Structures are given as structure tokens and as C-alpha cells.
């Protein structure tokens, strides 16, 4: 019986969990600011050490590390958008009546009015 009750409340899921989605959104926002800064700092340190050592192999390794870190940063930036696209695609296919707009707005822009008050179509 409690499982049926859970399904009945699922339509209000986004409105009831706005705080959680907002926290996730703020964490992602902090990551979007901190990751480029850290990427620049660590890349500069790696290249600085390699240049001071005057070793072509170390310079090449520093470039490889920077490339891997940049790829990871790009994935972190793109991942929320991919998740939102997959959720929207799954909702279209399943013909679910649930509106994920408020959830996605809280993740993508946690301070927005749509996040706090719900989406008005």
C-alpha cells in the first residue's frame, strides 16, 4: 500500500524536493567556477616545473596532463546538460505527466524564479 502512495506523490516530486535540487545546482555552479581556476593553476605549475627542469619529456607530459584535465573539466560542464536531455527524452517516450521543469531549472540555475516558484508553461 505504501508503494502505491509513493507513486501518487511522484507527480509533485520536483516541488517537494526543490531544496535538494537547488543545493545540487549551487554545487555545480561552484564547480563551474573552481574547475577552470584549478585547471589554470595546476597547468601553470606543471609547465613551470617542466620548463625550469628544461626537459622536453617533462614538457610533453605536462601537456598531456593538461589535456586530460581539460577533457575532464569539459565532461563536468557538459554532464548536467546531457542528464537533462536524457530525462526530457525519457519523459517524452514514456508519456509521463510529471513536469521536470522545476527540477532542471534548479540544477541549471538554482537562484531562478522557476526553481523557487515552479515553471509556468
Residue 12 counted as domain residue: no
By residue range, what is the domain housing residue 57?
21-111
pLDDT of residue 1: 44
Residue 86 counted as domain residue: yes
Domain count, the chain: 1
Residue 76 counted as domain residue: yes
pLDDT of residue 58: 87
Residue 16 counted as domain residue: no
Per-residue pLDDT of 18-75, as tens digits, reads 888 889 889 988 988 898 899 999 988 988 888 888 888 988 988 899 899 899 888 8
Alpha helices in the chain (DSSP H): 2-9, 13-16, 18-53, 56-94, 101-108, 113-117
Spell 72-109 as b/e; 16+ CB within 10 A means b: ebeeeeeebeeebeeeeeeeeeeeeeebbbbbbbbbbe
Amino acid at each position: 500500500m505504501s508503494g502505491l502512495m509513493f507513486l501518487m506523490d511522484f507527480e509533485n516530486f520536483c516541488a517537494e524536493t526543490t531544496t535538494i535540487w537547488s543545493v545540487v545546482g549551487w554545487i555545480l555552479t561552484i564547480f563551474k567556477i573552481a574547475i577552470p581556476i584549478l585547471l589554470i593553476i595546476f597547468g601553470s605549475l606543471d609547465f613551470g616545473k617542466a620548463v625550469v627542469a628544461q626537459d622536453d619529456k617533462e614538457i610533453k607530459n605536462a601537456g598531456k596532463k593538461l589535456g586530460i584535465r581539460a577533457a575532464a573539466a569539459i565532461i563536468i560542464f557538459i554532464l548536467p546538460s546531457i542528464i537533462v536531455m536524457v530525462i526530457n527524452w525519457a519523459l517524452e517516450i514514456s508519456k509521463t505527466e510529471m513536469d521536470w521543469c522545476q527540477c532542471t531549472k534548479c540544477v541549471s540555475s538554482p537562484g531562478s524564479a522557476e526553481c523557487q516558484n515552479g515553471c509556468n508553461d
